[in-house]
Chains A and B, each alone.
Chain A
Amino acid sequence: MTDRLRNLPTMKVHPQTELTLIYAGKRLKGLASDTIATALYANGVRIFSRSLKYHRPRGLYSLDGECSNCLMDVDGIPNVRAETSLLQDNMKVEPQNVVGTPERDFMSFIDKLDRFLPAGFYYHYFHRPYRLWPFFQNRLRKAAGLGRLKPSFRMKGIFDEIYPRAEVCVIGAGPAGMQAALAAATQGLRVILLEARPWPGGFFDYRSTNDVSDIPLHQRARQLADKIEENRNIRFFPGTFMTGFYSNNLITAFQVGKETDYFDERYMEIRVESVIVATGCMERPAIFDHNDRPGIMQVACAHRLARTYGLLPGKRAIFSIGDDLGLEAAMDLFDLGLPILCVADTRSDGQAPGLVEGLEERGIPFMRGWTVSTAHGSRTLKKVTLCTLDGLENRDFKCDLLVASAGLTPSAGPLFLAQARMSYDRFTGFFLPDEMPQKVHAAGRLLGLQDPLSIEASGRLAGLSAAADCGALVKVLIKEARELLEQLPGPVRGSKFIQAPGSGRKRFVCFDEDVTVKNIYQACDLGFDHVELVKRFSTAGLGPGQGGIPGHNLPLIVAQYRRYDGDSSDPILPTTIRPPLVPAYLATYAGKSRNHPKRTPLHETMKKTPGAVFRRTGSWQRVRYFTHDFQCREEIETVRNHVGMIDVSTLGKFRVFGPDALHALQRVYVGDMSKVKEGKVKYSAMCNEDGCLMDDGVVVKTGENDYYLTSSTNRADSTAEWIRYHTRYEVWNFSLVNLTDAFGAINLAGSRSRELLQTLTDEDLSNNTFPYAGYKEFRIGGDIPVRAMRLGFLGELSYELHIPASYTRTIWDMLLEEGRPFHIQPFGLEAQNVLRLEKGHVIIGQESEIRNTLHDLGLGFLWNREKSLYKTVGAPALHFTERQNGRMKLVGFRMEDPRRPPKDGSIIVDTRIRGHVCTARYSFTLGQSIGLAHVHSDLADIGTRLEILEDDMGSKRLYAEVVPTPFYDPDGKRLKI
């Protein structure tokens, strides 16, 4: 490991805590608080990866993870951003997209083939002759992609999620962000402060320049950070990357846990009243030939390597920069011991005089109006060519480090996501907000400010403005803050957009996708004239770094092209920025596992019942079988011959009451609900306005203007909404209570159910006092109140018992216990499905579909046409379709071969598809195979022969005959015993 600089006040790594990492099989040492990239750099690693298309060597460039240069495989996880991921002990790190080693990659010959690989080359090649395309496609697929994920990979770690709320959220804990947070917090507001780096400080953090009060900026950062820490209104989240900014100020982010945290990463959704964006700037990549060579890095990267990580990059350095920060960094790095051969500045004037003097004092040659034109070196940097901007003069320098930057560009991603109206500002060369969304503010460097005091003042102003959004009385303070800011230096003129002279083919605009300036021209040449189209065609900015590297240059190059093409009218348009701003693991987004199905009050009992097979049905977990005979013969025969019971607690249960309750029922049910009598149940259906069956259930009148009704399981969540929706214009006086979860329900069915139930109650359950379609409330098992209905869904004497949820298990257990002599057995959904099929009853969604009306299902008789006064939902459609021809009809059928039911979903055909089988089963009760099918009305007559085609049947067919339903007990005698 290289020796680190010592005793720097800005250092964040801990020289006394060494960590191990294994890189490409070798054991290396890093320090605590190193990132993976800085640890590797400290160990002399210069080539971190090979590029996507050309397999060019790539190295450390920005330290902020803006490009895929430092994406590495870490512990089996692909595409880890080594620049921003903290080193942990015993990490296994591998380079990516490498065939061989990063130093010697066998695919690097592709770099020489770039002439044959213009932008979008794959659109033009490989498809002639077409039969060869699959081969090339396969090659392309294998060549593409960066990291490799093993199918057996399982993410380790704890992934949490939090949903904090506060008044103000500040994004970025640099000087502006910290001042903003303090200003808002001092007004008594709760502030959430997010910072991507593991510590606050932003670009003050690594600078030793003094501010006006003569303390170094890094010390100033410390002061502010201390105040943040002391302020109890501020929650500071370091290591937190903002991913999304949604309207109404919803911010999403993820935080990477430190060693002391209980989580590895956590997803955050932050809802606040006001947001301050203080994300500062990143650097504009300088564009010159081979601008991607390892050994070339941005100013802040070199500066932070030294100041934060104690690593002096390089032994012979050249600077080619475009702003004062570059000059400052050169001086500081020189003072720290970096030999600098010269500093080239694209600006011919305008430098801060102190900085120029500083360079002179140190004897560093300073070349105004010069820039780098070419980098040399086959793998890492060996030499650079500097030239004047007109390209007339040039000089070569042997070196191993080129610190290159064209200036600054704002990290305005959050503003774009917030839908701020952004436009290109020619003075700063920034995309700046013309108009901010409500309650969103920007502060600091991303507005073009460079002066430390201005930056802090703008932060304070933004913090106060956010406080005002939250109702704080800060008018006077805002006025003062604004006046102060106006007295301080304003935005600084940005460096000009400069492309180095020369016509090198390897001037990269986008590192991730290996897109060069030439590729951009190629796209423009083809007529892709909108920056967004150029982006899509050239793929610049579509890689893991998204807009990071090309975000600034691409729009300018396209605009420049268009200007030369004679189109000067077009404004410079940015490319679209989309969330997540920083890529985030699916594991992080997924957070905690949330498989929490709804359970019925009988769930625990069911779980203990031998043989119970559960299925997720909608939001519920329910038992489908109590046996591994999926035909459920025993369950069915028990109901038909003895008595069985099923958990139907999922049914929707509602109370509707009040003077206008009946009106509401008349509106939504197709039947005449005035016919509901006390002590009786009425079965009816609800349709939508198309006349399509939406729900069925029973209604009971429990008192004057007081009704109890059930809905099917799937409609339980929407029945209240439905009834209220369809009565929303009325001033009817009724109330509606959803009792679904308040009651459990058991359907006790079978000829012996009365005998069994009678053992548990003194209530007279005889057929006379409690006949079919009757309703009774009584107590069983001593003191448990039940609501009992005699229903006929399954075709047997049966009682649907609604029991307070907490007692449902007790009743179930009692029935099971007392039912032993009656051979009672629980049955599941599949047995119920067959039992009701034998009765020809429909299940909503299984036998009904969107193109059927109630008539098509043979349920037209449920509709009472005499109540147009009530505007019954669906009634007009029922009128219109009552006698319409050519509709699909639901019919019952019996198979010619009694042993062979078609599988559900089989289709009915002649020369065309004419319908399909909804449900078909072998009926043990009848010794026949029966089913319900949708067929075209031509085929709906009794006696019609149906040709049925299952999947994988070829030219074979099954045959059935349309028969009347119910199949079982057509007169309904068994219901009424």
Chain B
Amino acid sequence: MLCRFTENTKKAKNKLMWQRPPLKGSYDAVIIGGGLHGLATAYFLARNQGMNHVAVIEKRYIGFGGSGRNTAIVRANQRTKENLPLYAEGLELWPKLTDELDFNLMFFNCGNLNLAHSEAALGSMRLLVASAQFHGIKSELVDAKQCKEIVPILDISDLPTYPIMGGMYHPPGGTVRHDAVVWGLARGAARLGVHIHQGTEVTGINVQNGKVTSVETDKGKIHTPRVLNAAGGYSTLVSAMIGIRLPVHVLTIQAMVTEPLKPILHHVVSSGAYHCYANQTLKGEIATGAHMDPWPNYTTQVSARYIKHQAEALTDLMPCLKGVKFMRSWAGLADMTPDMAPIIDGNNPIQGYFMDCGWGYFGFKSGAVTGKYLAEFMASDQCPDILAPFTLRRYENHKLMGEIANPVNYGPWN
């Protein structure tokens, strides 16, 4: 028995996805948060910027947060010209990354169908479609009949609470295996020399003369001139260490899967009116996501209300799904901003402090490409044009982004 294990272990050393190196006293960059954004930035720092002496600090295990809890939908049909190019490039990156990391990220290019249940919703979708088309991204408006041709299990009669009037079909979108992205990037980064420290908690960030000097962790102090806050739902807590407040509401968003079925849903379907999106995973589960509990908390607990709501919504839209069972539900933290666009900034006002947060529940789609540009930003101290609109300053400049049209209903202040 024992020899079997040692044999296993010996074999293992060269197979390891990532090593468990000891924490060093200094790194060129410290990335807080071992999720998709942090790992992608680390990977691209090492790969594109020649900065290999990088540590990724993760309090739990990699992919513990939003990266492992999202429903893995990718698309590039954003509303504004600031967001579109980033998401479009992000979408093109998945096949490339798969090849580059030699790790199958399982990009399922199934296309996304977003349902409209009113004339007004169709108008809003036209804005998205026209904008996408202007940027050369495939997207089209379809009527209810076409919706049914694309997704035959939809009910396009008048029976649902919100009858389907049409939709927006976005063929380049789909899903990516979220865990694979995290593990692929972690392996890629580790092979390029990045140190991934799981089970390590950042407890403070030290600044001298307006510059980042070091990071305190529960395993020791790390000297570094650059820190990236990529802590997702916990980013306001990290930010507080350095005295920067963020326009972020930490809410929990829930998702659930059904028992596995043979293929029946071949696209990502979503509906704003129902607060509902669904797709069938490679394993055959219908993965679906839902509402947010509208009060901030860090529990990642699910609630009874939304799994029920989700069942009502899904079976209204796709009545055959009444015969399927929910088998698992979970929740993740979403760091929501008032304008549903992320905050990407750096050296402002503290030299060497970078932030990549406020991604809410849409941080998965363009996480990898953001890492690429963020790595450029961190290495060169020059913010790439594509990231410039996401500055934190936009709030005090009274120029919220138009990624969402109407004020988000987080509370009575809007």
Contacts and interface: CB of A to CB of B under 8 A. Distances in A.
Interface of A: 52, 71, 76-79, 122-128, 130, 133-134, 137, 140-142, 144-155, 244, 246-247, 250, 252, 267, 269, 419, 499, 501, 503, 521, 524-530, 532-533, 536-537, 539, 542-544, 546, 561, 564-565, 578-580, 583-591, 594-595, 597, 615-617, 624, 688-692, 694, 718, 721-722, 725-726, 830, 845-846, 849-851, 853, 877, 880-881, 884, 886-888, 903-907, 909, 912-913, 916, 919, 949-953
Contact of B6 (A71, A526, A564): A564
Contacts of B5: 561, 564-565
Contacts of B105: 127
Please provide the 5 A-B residue pairs with the shortest distance between their CB atoms, ordered closest to farther: A145-B284, A905-B126, A589-B311, A904-B123, A564-B5
B263 interface: yes
8 contacts: A123-B104, A137-B108, A529-B20, A546-B327, A579-B329, A689-B414, A845-B406, A887-B399
Contacts of B323: 76-78, 149, 153, 155, 585-587
A525 B304 contact: no
Interface string B297-316: 00001111001101110111
B263 A142 contact: yes
B260 interface: yes
B246 interface: no
Interface in B139-189: 139-141, 152-153, 160-163, 177, 179-180, 183-184
Given A130-B99, A583-B259, A905 B130 contact: yes
Nearest to A617: B118
A584 B325 contact: yes
A850 B61 contact: no
Interface of B: 1-2, 4-6, 8-9, 11-12, 15-20, 61-64, 68, 80-81, 95, 98-99, 102-109, 117-120, 122-131, 133-134, 139-141, 152-153, 160-163, 177, 179-180, 183-184, 198, 258-264, 282-284, 301-304, 307-308, 310-312, 314-316, 319-330, 338-339, 398-402, 404-408, 412-414
B364 to A, nearest CB: 16
B320 A153 contact: yes
Given A850-B407, A950-B126, A912 B327 contact: no
Contacts of B1: 499, 501
A907 B104 contact: no
Contact of B95 (A130, A144, A690): A130
Given A153-B323, A850-B404, A906-B130, A589 B104 contact: no
A907 B131 contact: yes
Contacts of A77: 323
Contact of B322 (A123, A124, A244, A586): A586
Given A525-B8, A525-B12, A905 B106 contact: no
A20 B131 CA distance: 61
Nearest to B61: A530
A154 B262 CA distance: 17
Contacts of B125: 905
Q: Which of A76, A124, A907 has the most CB of B within 10 A?
A: A907
Contacts of B15: 525-527
Contacts of B301: 246-247, 419
Contacts of A267: 308
A877 B324 contact: no
B99 A586 contact: no
A578 B308 CA distance: 15
Given A154-B319, A586-B325, A692-B407, A905 B124 contact: yes
Contacts of B126: 903-906, 950-951
A584 B322 CA distance: 10
A304 to B, nearest CB: 24
A904 B118 CA distance: 13
Given A525-B12, A851-B339, A905-B130, A589 B308 contact: yes
A147 B398 contact: no
A244 B304 contact: yes
Given A123-B103, A526-B15, A565-B9, A690 B322 contact: no
Nearest to B414: A688
Given A849-B406, A850-B339, A851-B399, A78 B104 contact: no
A561 B8 CA distance: 9
A528 B17 contact: yes
A76 B322 CA distance: 12
A358 B122 CA distance: 77
Contact of B104 (A124, A597, A906): A124
B162 A616 contact: yes
A562 to B, nearest CB: 10
A853 B258 contact: no
A578 B19 CA distance: 30
A127 B325 contact: no
A942 to B, nearest CB: 24
A830 B118 CA distance: 12
A25 B56 CA distance: 59
A853 B104 contact: no
Contacts of A148: 261-262
Contacts of B404: 850
Q: Which of B61, B95, B123, B180 has the most CB of A within 10 A?
A: B123
A690 B307 contact: no
